[in-house]
Structure 1
Amino acid sequence: MRLNIINLKSTQMNKFFLLLLLSTCMVQAQNVLVPDSTGVVKSNDSLEISTKTFSKDTLKPFKRYKAEGISAVVGEYIILDSDIDKGYLEMQSQGISIEGITRCELLGKLMEDKLYAHQAKQDSLVVADAEINSRIDQQLQYMVSELGSEEKVAQYYRKDNVADLRKELFDANKIIALASQMQQKIIDKLEVTPEEVRSFFYSIPEDERPIFGAEIEVAQIVVEPEISQKAIDDVIARLNAIRADIIDNGASFSTKAVLYSKDPGSASKGGLMTGITRDSPLAKEFMDQTFSLLEGEVSEPFQTEFGWHILYVEKIRGQEVDVRHILLFPDVSQAAIDAAQKKIEDIRSQIVSGEISFADAAHKYSEDKETRNNGGQIINPLTFDTRFDLTKMDPTFGAQVYNLKEGEVSKVITDRDRTGKGMLKILTVTKRYPEHKADYVKDYERIKQLALREKQIKEISKWQDKVIDKTYVHVNEDYQKCDFSANWLKN
């Protein structure tokens, strides 16, 4: 059956189920799914989740539960009634509308996850424990930010302590990771030919072809204030003083990281980074320090593109290493900021007056290595092309370019790059694409992705039918009348 193409005006439910059907490894890294368990959420006024927006037909209030029961069994995995309720809760926590999503549909998704994980074990697929533990650290950090403390998080999930909760999260995340690996294995080698793309597009009735929303392409020129040697010497001295206090006086590296580190991803965790392997996507200098130190050693100050660090090796487990680090930036003088401001204002004046094109100026003056050789053109990190959907842009970035006309140059903007360092930049909209119905020639690459997505969905569906047929599946009588997308009832 042909996939109904979803345009940018589609419902949240459609978006959610498309995500469910194709949860690739990149998507799974962002998931914070709630585990199966035999426990239920404790009724507690201070921890209640609002249910005002929930449909009575799709969800019972989270503060009331019937006695725990089994909804379905897939292979070795059991799905409980509370798992469906928790699924709704997780969707809401991720900002996904649950309006119109039935319990039948959510149970079907949970059964899919268990089927993938079950078959992944049969196929001997392996997920490293360090990868799971790193994901759990992120999940607990998010939960603590929502509820206030680890104790409240454990209480919310009716666990005696955080250790018990971590075990439950580990089991759930293991299932998720195995499921994702299995899905990726199914679709990994699929490709679409130009003829398949053409057939796919012209098989869609003209009045049903997707509507692509308004998009823009943006270029930038970046100038960074010059950092003096004195500022570099000062930051090295600060790191050496912290290091000496740790080594000579027994000060806590973790506490120092919380107090002083400028790394937003690890500072609140005492600088902790777990499960680092030689394949981890980290700066070369950082990796060199990680794998050259012994357990318990603290590095000398060293530099990466992100700033200056000291690093402490907390645990070595075979090929995996847990470390803590402290990141500091050299201070930038007001004189350096003023000089950078003057430089970028002069560049802007040259562009506006027509003395030089924005692209040539970017190539000549921009200090952003990733964009300067491409005329300053910014790549969308979500789609890896140059187009940005105006409705899905980062709010801060979107506000900077939303009112710019095509070819107009922005005022000088003070910003921070991905490493956290301050910078000055100017932006221009190089191309605007108004909302339009899909065009085979102009939108070929996007249509190609939709065609591939349909092919992947068909392949997953074929795989499901085949594996369900040879896997033990039991669905509770409460769900025997569900219209599942897969043949879970084996009719």
Structure 2
Amino acid sequence: MMLLLSMGVFSAMAQNQPGMVIDQIVGVVGDNIIMQSEIEIEFAQLRKEFPQAPDTMKCEILKQRLVDKVMLCKAQLDSVVVSDDRVEGELEKRLQYFARQMGGIKAMEEFYGKSITEIKATNREKIKDGLLVQEVQQKALKDIKVSPTDIKKYFNELAETDSLPFYSAEVEIAQIVLQPKVSKEAKEIAYEKISELRERIVNGESFNTLALIYSDDKGSATNGGDLGFFTRGDMVPEFEATAFRLRPDSVSKIIETKFGYHILKLVDRKGDNIDVRHILIRPKIFTTDIQKARELLDSILWQVKIDSITFEKAAKKYSDDVQTKSNGGFITEGSTGTTKVPIDELDKSLYFRIEGMKAGEISEPELITLPGPDREQAWRVLYLKSESKPHRANLRDDYQKFQAIAENRKKAKALNDFINKNKKQFYIHISDEYKNCLSIQNFIK
């Protein structure tokens, strides 16, 4: 059973795709319905990753949806509440992720054929439901822990049946990533540039043309800076505060956000929605800024070398990589979350970087290009904590793995017991098309 929630939280955006199949209800739990389109979309996504996935996986997808709906009904019954701020924060985080993948907000709007406001409206309730499910699941599993006895018992069960897995070569790698910081001089230059552009517009030059030529927001620049319609809560606060005070045909004063300096012009207003154009000028990172970041990284590494601070603590304190920072810089294996990562699962750039390093060594800093449309640069240094050769599983080398697996098994059983206990409180109906699915027989009354 999946312990990560589906409930549209991870695939909510996909449900806006054009070309949907003719829809029908395939499941009902309480007042909550499951549509055939939900199953088809998730199955199509699965087929992209695993082309050989059998049609029977639709049964597993429906099973997970039924589990989610039971937990949603339980949340509604127990009057579980998630704040609007939390919903909006989660929605914004997912929108930004999809926008980065697609090359910007405008590209995402064109793909889905909807404005950012419409996309948000379509997915807001799905996000809220997903968070409610998350609350119920966390409460059901909060006391689940595994002891060393549980881990050893699971290991012995596999050993007795000669089922211990064989693991490929693995490594433990941590990293510190430092991004150059924008200098005061760079901000002054950017401010002067956008001031000049604003003056040219006020003096009669075309906002659209100057946005096309000069704006650093390439997603909107091709449309003359037009962002399309949005409403309150869609943009960063400083941008929004100015945008909603704009008068027709007026050009805003210069505003600063975390992205840089902007000037705005109102295009249209429809009720609580507005359409504006903007020009963004980002302060540039200069060679001297890159060099200063390198010098800072060198000083951090010197502290590590003289044992003034451990690499892990330095990563937590200084690294700019949000995915590994809180974990002491360690890159984790996807399925179990352990720090020992199979070599054949490493990104090629990482593999070639650690090739030839010995356990305990720290690499020389390298200048890398970060993923994303902005192609920002950063310094990265790697720490090879340990490496292991291909081997049959054992508790000395693989304790983390068995701990994670034993805990997931225990959580899966606890969640299954929770569902079986609580599903009796709610009306459940499954369409005839799915009634032969073996995995959902316990949901059929």
TM over 0.5: yes
1:460 to 395, 412, 415: 415
**Bigger mean CA deviation after superposition, 457-466 or 439-448:** 439-448
Matched pairs, number: 408
Identify the residue that residue 403 of structure 2 maps to in structure 1.
Answer: 448
Matched-pair contact (CA < 8 Å) for 1:74–1:474: yes
Instruction: For residue 216 of structure 1, report the CA deviation from its aligned partner.
Output: 1.8
Q: Give 1:440 deviation, angstroms.
A: 2.1
Tell me by how many angstroms 1:153 deviates. 2.9
CA, structure 1 residues 408+89, in 2 after alignment: closer, same or farther (shift >3 Å)?
same
- CA deviation digits over 1:49-73, x for unaligned, max 9? xxxxxxxxxxxxxxxx6xx543222
- TM-score relative to the length of structure 2: 0.65
- Is 1:175 the equivalent of 2:124? no
Deviation at 1:173, TM superposition (A): 3.8
Compared with structure 1, are the counterparts of its residues 308 and 223 closer, same or farther at alpha carbon in structure 2 (3 Å cutoff)? same
Work out the CA distance in 2 between the residues paired with 1:388 and 1:472: 44
Q: Which residue of the partner structure matches residue 429 of structure 1?
A: 384
Correspondence for 1:380: 331
Q: Which residue does 2:444 correspond to in 1?
A: 489
Unaligned runs of 5+ in 2: 247-251, 267-277
Query: Is the contact made by 2:255 and 2:262 (CA closer than 8 Å) also made in structure 1?
Result: yes
Q: 1:484 to 1:124 in 2, by over 3 A?
A: same
| Change in CA separation of 1:107 and 1:469 when aligned onto 2, cut-off 3 Å | same
Q: What secondary structure, in the 3-state scheme, does the structure 2 residue paired with 1:216 have?
A: strand
Contact 2:363 2:381 in 1 (8 A): yes
Q: Which amino acid aligns with 1:441?
A: R
Q: Which residue of 1 aligns with 2:53?
A: 99
User: Residue 20 of structure 2 corresponds to which residue in structure 1?
Assistant: 41
Shift of 1:364: 11
Aligned pairs (5 A) from 1:262-301: 296=245
Q: Distance in 2 between matches of 1:359 and 1:402?
A: 21
- Which of 199, 203, 208 is equivalent to 2:153? 199
In the alignment, structure 1 residue 328 sits paired with structure 2 residue 282: yes
Higher RCO (CA 8 Å, separation ≥ 6 residues): 2
Q: 2:153 matched to 1:153?
A: no
- Aligned equivalents of 1:258, 1:75: Cα separation in 2: 55
The residue that corresponds to 2:270 in the other structure is none
1:397 to 350, 370, 392: 350
Question: Does the Cα contact within 8 Å between 2:194 and 2:262 map onto a contact in 1?
Answer: yes
Q: 1:399 Cα deviation (Å)?
A: 4.1
Mapped to 1, the partners of 2:170 and 2:352 lie a distance apart of: 14
Offset of residue 191 of structure 1: 2.2
User: Does 2:25 align with 1:80?
Assistant: no
- Aligned residue number for residue 274 of structure 2: none
Q: What does the per-residue CA deviation read over 1:381-435, in whole Å, with 9 as the maximum and x for residues that have no partner? A: 6777654443444444344335645466656622256997534455453421233
Letter in 1 for 2:92: S
Contact 1:272 1:325 in 2 (8 A): no
Q: Give the Cα separation in 2 of the matches to 1:360 and 1:272.
A: 56
Change (3 A) 1:208 1:385: closer
For structure 1, list consecutive stretches of 5 or more residues without a partner in the other structure.
1-17, 43-64, 278-285, 315-323
Q: CA RMSD in A?
A: 5.7
Alignment partners' CA distance in 2, 1:415 and 1:386: 22
Match of 2:319 in 1: 370
- Partner residue, 2:273: none
Aligned amino acid, residue 479 of structure 1: Y
Q: Percent identity?
A: 18
CA displacement 1:282-313 (0-9 Å, x = unmatched): xxxx99x7999996498987797xx866799x
Tell me by how many angstroms 1:458 deviates: 0.9
Tell me which moved more, 290-299 or 112-121. 290-299
- Which residue is equivalent to 1:134? 92
1:62 aligned residue: none
Q: Equivalent residue of 1:99, what SS? A: coil
CA contact (8 A) 1:150 1:162 kept: yes
1:380 partner letter = I
Q: CA deviation at 1:340?
A: 6.9
* Alpha-carbon spacing, 1:398–1:303, altered in 2? closer, same or farther (3 Å): farther
**TM-aligned CA distance change 1:480 to 1:24, over 3 Å:** closer
| Cα distance, 1:402–1:99 mapped onto 2, change above 3 Å | farther
Q: State the Cα distance separating 1:193 from its structure 2 match.
A: 2.9
Match of 2:429 in 1: 474
CA distance in 1, matches of 2:74, 2:184: 58
Query: What secondary structure is seen at the aligned counterpart in 1 of 2:151?
Result: helix
Aligned twin of 1:185: 139
**Secondary structure of the residue that 1:441 maps to in structure 2?**
helix
Alpha-carbon separation, structure 2, partners of 1:152 and 1:226: 34
Q: State the Cα distance separating 1:473 from its structure 2 match.
A: 0.9
Structure 1 window deviating more from structure 2 (473-482 vs 215-224): it is: 215-224
Which residue of 2 is the match for residue 50 of structure 1?
Answer: none
Who is 1:22 aligned against? 3
Q: Secondary structure at the match of 1:79?
A: strand
